Amino acid sequence: MILDSKIPDGPLAEKWTKHKFSVKLVNPANKRKYDVIVVGTGLAGASAAASLAELGYNVKAFCFQDSPRRAHSIAAQGGINAAKNYQNDGDSIFRLFYDTIKGGDYRAREANVHRLAEVSVSIIDQCVAQGVPFAREYGGLLANRSFGGAQVSRTFYARGQTGQQLLLGAYSALSRQVANGKVKLYPRTEMMDVVIVDGKARGIITRNLITGAIESHSAHAVLLCTGGYGNVFFLSTNAMGSNVTAAWRAHKKGAFMANPCFTQIHPTCIPVSGDHQSKLTLMSESLRNDGRVWVPATKETAEKLRKGQIKASDIKEEDRDYFLERKYPSFGNLVPRDVASRNAKYVCDEGRGVNETGEAVFLDFRDAIIRDGKNVISAKYGNLFDMYQQITGEDPYQVPMMIYPAVHYTMGGLWVDYNLMTTVPGLYALGEANFSDHGANRLGASALMQGLADGYFVIPYTVGDYLAQTPSTKIGTDHPEFKKAEKEVKDRVQKLLSIKGEKTVDHFHKRLGKIMWNYCGMARTEEGLKEAKKMIQELKAEFWSNVKVLGENEELNQSLEKAHRVADFIELGELMVDDALNRNESCGGHFREEYQTPEGEALRDDANYAYVAAWQYVGEGQEEVLHKEPLVFENVKLTQRSYK
């Protein structure tokens, strides 16, 4: 099978405009004859569901949370990028496009990224019209800030809760359509499978999380807006419920998974405090603007510190190693996320880490407080300092903060073409669930942009193109394919419940997380990945013979919910390892230790790996088949990133 990305011809800047004109339209009177299923109600899902309902399609929206407003988009803090150039500082659509491509280490499609930059401006207009209270200047116009090392101020924000406000905006648009009767909402409902009829996605199977009822839903198109799979690492900044199940079931039904090994590790998270840890909390990247990252210069000092024999303040200036400032004199503490994360790992691996676990580095505000005064620092970071204190019980004004990298975002996801359609006709993937726009590394404040771009401004055109070519005839849920899929789901439920093994679901999830973090995390090696693959296969076998899921299907059963998700994470984990093993280069969030420059920086191999790795599921127990979509760069010159 040859992957057809369906990128329109013509100059980069005209592709989307041209495409919008060339897509087929569904007659306004006919739109009501089409049903669209939207799974997930985060930024991508809620915006898509609302926009499609506004156009007149009948939408069914599903989420596993108790309300669409809880989707994990809500936790995004920093902001949303848009090439508005309100600040007159030289921003443009092309610059946002260029920054995103470069930031992604040249592993994203030019056409998709340019479209993203184009529609970014409309997103802000839309959100303001919905009543999103973005930060404003005294003159009443919108405020911007520079984010994640960008050289222009293009980030719009609503305090430290931009994701929340954007999601509530999309949720309000969705709620309006629910009231209008154009969207039927299914909260506390988990998608269990995609139903494919005559090669096209025609519906889904769901489980009602309250009653356990396994139900079928038929439609003309299915949109997966189900977010990322960072929880494959067990510990991540994702919400506890974030999972890969919907995407993975789609994958097993024929949708290719692209670049699954591309995960983003965020450097400034609160370190793990013990075995009980259930999730990690991110603190805004902005802390690195004033905080200095260091560890003790020697192992011995670090050891004393870990044992509590000395305090951080006892360590003299000359015994501290400000390793980022030392290695990257021009960028210092502001090196990109992947570089900062990797170097923190290195010093901890050397035995110089702090915290009782040895897996943390200091982020010290002492000098900043001396320089600017406590008030200035408090005005900038007060809420973050409070949050840190609430979680750790330590006062960062008095003692240095401790941070450690954590999994934050997954750039990989379902392979989609320019229309956001997966390799299964009628099955679409939007937002973090797809792979399309961030390449091997995502820039700060771009996730929100992509989710809303896909939902508000891309899918309404592209899904119409597909539906216009699809007969409006409905397929009943009594169709054999639905019945078959339903039975598969029920069998799987029964299987999980009947194992009655010894170990809890979380036990397996934690073990999987450890394998992934140690071998497929910040730094990967061929040897380690091969080892990991074996371990995951063993874990999978053990899971299916020894997992303990109590209770029954016909009730609210959180263990059963988790068991489904973890079973899928285990399979995904193996594919991530395969993907990381295949990619014999280092790029963005993917760092293979064998492929680095003499200075220890990521070494890309554009000649051999400038492609999207799209994996095809071919059957239980079989190796997945790799398909390559070559990446063609006509508008940017590929360069090596350097932050020295």
401 to 430, contacts with another protein by CB under 8 A? none
The one among 556, 618, 632, 638 contacting another protein by CB under 8 A:
556
DSSP 20: H
- CA dihedral sign, ordered 223, 50, 228, 336: positive
Q: How far is the CB of 139 from another protein (least distance, A)?
A: 6
Of residues 358-387, which lie at the interface with another protein (CB under 8 A)?
A: 387
Decide whether 203 or 405 has the Cβ nearer to another protein.
405
Hey, what are 39's tokens? 């799974």
Hey, what are 485's tokens? 């899929």
Of residues 282-301, which lie at the interface with another protein (CB under 8 A)?
A: 282
Q: How far is it, in rounded angstroms, from Cα 135 to Cα 160? A: 10
Q: How far is the CB of 388 from another protein (least distance, A)?
A: 11
Scanning 6-14, 44-52, 415-423, 523-531 for contacts with another protein by CB under 8 A, the matching segment is 44-52
Whether 401 and 364 have beta carbons less than 8 Å apart is answered as: yes
Q: How far is it, in rounded angstroms, from Cα 408 to Cα 265? A: 6
User: Catalytic: which of 337, 352, 442, 524?
Assistant: 337
Decide whether 279 or 320 has the Cβ nearer to another protein.
279
Decide whether 156 or 323 has the Cβ nearer to another protein.
156
Q: Is residue 202 among the annotated active site residues?
A: no
Decide whether 16 or 595 has the Cβ nearer to another protein.
16
Q: Where are the alpha helices (DSSP H) in 373-523?
A: 374-392, 447-452, 459-468, 480-499, 505-520
The one among 25, 349, 551, 644 contacting another protein by CB under 8 A:
551
Q: How far is the CB of 355 from another protein (least distance, A)?
A: 11
Of residues 68-127, which lie at the interface with another protein (CB under 8 A)?
A: 68-72, 74-75, 84, 86, 122, 124-127
Q: How far is it, in rounded angstroms, from Cα 81 to Cα 120? A: 7
Q: How far is it, in rounded angstroms, from Cα 52 to Cα 454? A: 12
The one among 88, 278, 498, 622 contacting another protein by CB under 8 A:
278
Decide whether 164 or 477 has the Cβ nearer to another protein.
164
Of residues 194-233, which lie at the interface with another protein (CB under 8 A)?
A: 210
User: Per rule CB under 8 A, is residue 456 in the interface with another protein?
Assistant: yes
Hey, what are 303's tokens? 């050891």
Decide whether 5 or 41 has the Cβ nearer to another protein.
41
Cα angle for residues 195, 199, 200 (degrees, 5° grid): 60
Hey, what are 199's tokens? 């090669």
Closest CA to 285 of 337, 331, 348, 353: 337
User: Per rule CB under 8 A, is residue 134 in the interface with another protein?
Assistant: yes
Of residues 493-512, which lie at the interface with another protein (CB under 8 A)?
A: 504, 506-507
DSSP string, 39-101: E--SHHHHHHHHHHHHHT-EEEEE-SSSSGGGSGGGG--S-EE----TT-SS--HHHHHHHHH
Scanning 225-233, 406-414, 424-432, 452-460 for contacts with another protein by CB under 8 A, the matching segment is 452-460
Residue count at the site for another protein (CB under 8 A)? 83
Instruction: Tell me, residue by residue from 301 to 340, as one string, x for binding to another protein by CB under 8 A and - for no binding.
Output: ----------------------------------------
Q: Please, how many CA atoms are within 13 Å of residue 522, restricted to the half-sphere of its CB? A: 22
Q: How far is CA 369 from the centre of its chain?
A: 34
Decide whether 393 or 471 has the Cβ nearer to another protein.
393
Q: How far is the CB of 631 from another protein (least distance, A)?
A: 30
Hey, what are 312's tokens? 């951080």
Q: How far is the CB of 103 from another protein (least distance, A)?
A: 24
The one among 137, 300, 319, 527 contacting another protein by CB under 8 A:
137
The one among 7, 13, 135, 197 contacting another protein by CB under 8 A:
135
User: Per rule CB under 8 A, is residue 479 in the interface with another protein?
Assistant: no
Q: Please, how many CA atoms are within 13 Å of residue 193, restricted to the half-sphere of its CB? A: 22
The one among 13, 23, 128, 399 contacting another protein by CB under 8 A:
128
Instruction: Tell me, residue by residue from 237 to 266, as one string, x for binding to another protein by CB under 8 A and - for no binding.
Output: x-xxx-------------------------
Q: How far is it, in rounded angstroms, from Cα 234 to Cα 277? A: 10
Decide whether 130 or 298 has the Cβ nearer to another protein.
130
The one among 112, 120, 153, 164 contacting another protein by CB under 8 A:
164
Q: How far is the CB of 446 from another protein (least distance, A)?
A: 18
Q: How far is it, in rounded angstroms, from Cα 156 to Cα 82? A: 7
User: Per rule CB under 8 A, is residue 21 in the interface with another protein?
Assistant: no
Q: How far is it, in rounded angstroms, from Cα 353 to Cα 522? A: 16
3-class secondary structure for 524-576? ECHHHHHHHHHHHHHHHHHHHHHECCCCCCCCCCHHHHHHHHHHHHHHHHHHH
User: Per rule CB under 8 A, is residue 279 in the interface with another protein?
Assistant: yes
Q: How far is it, in rounded angstroms, from Cα 46 to Cα 38? A: 8
The one among 7, 13, 23, 142 contacting another protein by CB under 8 A:
142
* Residues taking part in catalysis: 337
